[in-house]
Structure 1
Amino acid sequence: MKVLIIIAVLGVATAIPFTEEQLKKGQQYVKKCLDETKISPETVGKLKAGDFSEDDENVQCFALCFFREAQFTDADGNQNKDVIINKLSVDKDPKSVEAVYSKCKNETGSTPCQKAFNAYKCYRTAGLF
């Protein structure tokens, strides 16, 4: 059941046409980060849908884990511009992705997890996730 929810969260529920390889890697990242943070697949589904009502440390650390695995950030939540622009430009103009990156690159937080979560919220609100 957990695997089906992960697939739905990453595949069917997304409007971005990620490549098959990206979807497969994303599924692996979600599984690893679910195991690491112990949040529920349903919570991941809420995050994917833009529902940020669950904002505890484990949820924030899920964002850091996923971003770290995708190489969007390092372990301290510092963003990797080149990777973000490259991976999120699958169906978008790289200049528009770079503009969103410029808007979201300075997201902060009191912990690396909170910093990554705030960055995720910024990108999600801008329509990149």
Structure 2
Amino acid sequence: MKNEIKLKIYRVNTELSHSSHWNEFTLEYDAESVLLDLLLKIFNEQDNTLAFDKNCRIGLCSSCRVKVNEKIILACSENVAQFVAELGDVIEVSPYNTLKAVRDLVVDPQFESCTRIKVTL
């Protein structure tokens, strides 16, 4: 059975402007859908300018990390039906760190690498 959700997605492109805004997208989802599925659906079917990161799709790399209603999650492993049950059918999706966002949901990769540095001798 298909259900509908409205995603309000934070949009910014620091190469063009530092102002940000929100776009709304209405999508169908099923019981197995994860947030990354919906982001890909937006990119492929509604707005191919939407920028977000993804890599492993199994919850290991954390490249798909975003905020959903101010809670940091991995888009590849969070079930949409659970969001709707907990938060309702309007969900806000933003970069996990809006101060370091370079485009939409993408965070500056230099910032990312600095947070992972481990010094060994």
Measured against the shorter chain, the TM-score band is under 0.3
Larger radius of gyration: 2
Could you say which structure has the greater relative contact order, defined with CA pairs below 8 angstroms and 6 or more residues apart?
Answer: 2
Greater share of strand: 2
Provide the TM-score with structure 1 as the length reference: 0.26
